[in-house]
Structure 1
Amino acid sequence: MRRWATVVAAALVASVLPVGVAQAAPPSPVTKLRQQFGEHVGLRISDLGRVYKDGKPVVTIWRRGKVEFGAAGVYATDTVGRTELGRGAVKELENQLGQRLGSTRVICFPNEAYLSGPGYETWLPEGKTWLGLIGPANIKQTAALPQIVNIFEPATLGTLLSHAVVRKRGSYGTYLQGAVTLRTLYRVSPSLRDRLAGPPKGRSGRIPVGFRLWLDRSNLARRLSTTWKQPLPGTPRRYTTTVVHTRYTGWGSPVTLTPPPPEDTADAGRVGADFPRPTALPIG
């Protein structure tokens, strides 16, 4: 009798407890992304991008760094990257010179950017190590990362979700796969519009950008891989294939990015205008 009473009591307690509290579904990926936006928080990113022609890599870009959010999205980035033509060309040259050529570092804010590394030393006065750019027109190109798809834009992330044709859930989170045209990306992505001179037309607009996206159990992006082909100018039957892999780690970490010291910075407007910009993978 006592055992039966215990079972009944347990059932009654269970009937009045909130159902599914411990297993509540996480917010949608777009909502979860918006929840990350706030001052002095961000994450770490790393990119590996390659352009292939006739099956061989002709350009490789490595880049890693930090992203700082503001209330409306990305506020600043601080990245270090290297670009290589072919495979092993940079390392071969370093071996010949007996020294490392170093990497390019770029710090970007809404209306200013700072560049340092190989290719900029000749523009810098003695004692200066940073080249400063002022004005949004310059920043639009300088801030471009190798990844063509900017998942920090809610509309862009939502477009990927709506174009996913494969969706698999597991203990790790969710895997999505699909494709979206360059024209559609241009329409929803402000950062892509900044990178292109105008809307992609004709065949360019129909270029499919294939994507594979991994979300963690809280619906934050962990990995993104994109692939797209472009016809070579003058040879429409030959293509280059661009593949970019990006990892996102440390969501919600404290991040406060600052410009380099003024005493180490030279104003690009005073040292010349034809300076090299960080290499970006070809688009469109």
Structure 2
Amino acid sequence: MRRWATLVAAAALVGSVLPVGAAQAAQAPPSPVTKLRQQFAEHKGLRISDLGRVFKDGKAVVTIWRKGRVEFDASGVYATDTTGRTEAGRGAVKEFENLTGLNAGSTRVICFPNEAYLSGPGYETWLPEGKHWLGLIGPENIKQTETFPQIVNVFEPATLGTLLSHASVKRRLGSGTYLQGAVTLRTLYKVSPSFRDRLAGPPKGRSAKIPVGFRLWLDRSNLVRRLTTTWRQPAGKTPTTTVADTRYTAWGSDVTLTPPPPEDTADAGRVGGDFSPPATLPIG
């Protein structure tokens, strides 16, 4: 009984020394944007996993899978190493693999600020015998692959802050925080450098007003752990709807990405002068 009374008295004393507001502030995690910036350090990063689908008339006409690692430096994303595949329809490739026992293969892309390396189906015709990687030079390469198939890049502090400010629903969960809202393509274009790099120009007219609905999950420390986005793209008489679901795990893990061996890489500038650049989104 004496020990219990002592603990109660000590707790009351602490409560009287620290104002309630100060105690709560001491326990509150940094804001999501501040928490993101705290992750920007050399050889630190995380893992990502994407699932994207394009629907037309209620049916999936394109499905995209991607997973891999992201490496940061002091300013943000420094490099990415992802493996993914794209298929027409939904499940056709997996069904083919199950029936035939063959591996249809995936595409792997390693990007740095001024160079990118690609390997997998579709690139073999560009490669000399004995080579497995196609090397591209130019900063546009990493910009084109940072967020695909996810249209929203939460590794950009301004973009993440815009999502937070446009959240119309915010709920506390046992695992963290859930937010839901929408931003227009015009707003996304203004705040997101990587989104601007994916377009041939700013969205205009009705396209500029297209809303991108989002659902965002934060963990207890305010790091992003999941983002889903949905947006409708006019396309002739039948619009398409794109849905992307991205998971973010292993924040703060050690990540050091390296290019493939030079002896296993062919320079795209030498194997062909008409190599097509990454496609831009048909908006505007």
* TM-score, reference length from structure 1: 0.90
Residues of 2 paired with 1:56 and 1:15: CA distance? 59
Counterparts of 1:155 and 1:203 in 2: how far apart (Å)? 24
The one of 107, 119, 122 equivalent to 2:122 is: 119
Matches of 2:15 and 2:142, distance apart in 1 = 59
1:170 is displaced (CA, Å) by 2.0
Q: In the alignment, residue 267 of structure 2 is paired with which amino acid?
A: D
Q: What are the equivalent positions in structure 2 for 1:169-248 lying under 5 Å apart?
A: 169-233=172-236, 235=237, 238-248=238-248
The separation in 1 between residues aligned to 2:85 and 2:53, in whole angstroms, is 12
User: What SS does the corresponding residue of 1:232 show, helix, strand or coil?
Assistant: coil
Residues 45-83 of structure 1 deviation map (CA, whole Å, 9 limit, x = unaligned): 000000000000000000000000010000000000011
In 1, are the aligned partners of 2:198 and 2:280 still within 8 Å (CA)? no
Alignment counterpart, residue 85 of structure 2, candidates 82, 86, 90: 82
Alignment of 1:156-167 (within 5 A): 156-167=159-170
* C-alpha contact (below 8 Å) 1:108/1:139 kept by paired residues: yes
- Greater shift after overlay, 215-224 or 89-98? 89-98
Match of 1:263 in 2: 263
What SS does the corresponding residue of 2:144 show, helix, strand or coil? helix
Please name the residue that 2:156 is paired with: 153
Match of 1:70 among 59, 73, 85: 73
Amino acid of the structure 1 residue aligned with 2:136 = L
The answer as to 2:129 corresponding to 1:135 is no
Contact 2:144 2:194 in 1 (8 A): no
Cα distance between partner residues in 1 of 2:15 and 2:99? 76
Post-superposition CA distance 1:103-157 (Å, at most 9, x none): 0000000000000000011110111100000112344334452000000000000
User: Quick one: percent identity of the two aligned structures?
Assistant: 78
Tell me how far 1:23 sits from its aligned partner: 6.0
C-alpha separation in 1, matches of 2:201 and 2:271: 30
Where in structure 1 are there 5+ consecutive unaligned residues? none
Unmatched tracts of structure 2, length 5 or more:
none
Given residue 219 of structure 1, which amino acid in structure 2 is its aligned partner? N
Q: When the two structures are superposed, what TM-score results if normalisation uses the length of structure 2? A: 0.90
Question: Which amino acid counterpart does residue 76 of structure 1 have in structure 2?
Answer: A
Q: 1:279 to 1:119 in 2, by over 3 A?
A: farther
Per-residue deviation, 1:99: 2.1
Separation of aligned partners in 2, 1:44 and 1:215: 15
- Whether the aligned pair in 1 keeps the contact of 2:50 and 2:65 (CA below 8 Å) is yes
Structure 1 match to 2:55: 52
Aligned to 1:25: 28
Using the alignment, how far apart are the partners of 1:75 and 1:126 within structure 2? 31
Task: Quote how far apart the aligned CAs of 1:97 are.
Answer: 6.1
2:246 is aligned with what amino acid? Answer: T
Deviation string 1:199-219 (CA, Å, 9 cap, x unpaired) is 000011000000000000100
Deviation at 1:14, TM superposition (A): 2.7
Q: Is contact 1:207–1:229 with CA below 8 Å preserved after alignment?
A: yes
Structure 2 Cα separation of the partners of residues 75 and 138 of structure 1: 12
Query: Would you say the 8 A contact 1:146–1:281 is kept in 2?
Result: no
Bigger shift: 222-231 or 133-142?
133-142
Task: Report how many residues are paired.
Answer: 280
Inter-partner Cα distance in structure 1 for 2:254 and 2:134: 27
Q: Specify the code of the residue in structure 2 equivalent to 1:42.
A: G
Residues 242 and 11 of structure 1: CA distance in aligned 2, closer, same or farther (over 3 Å): closer
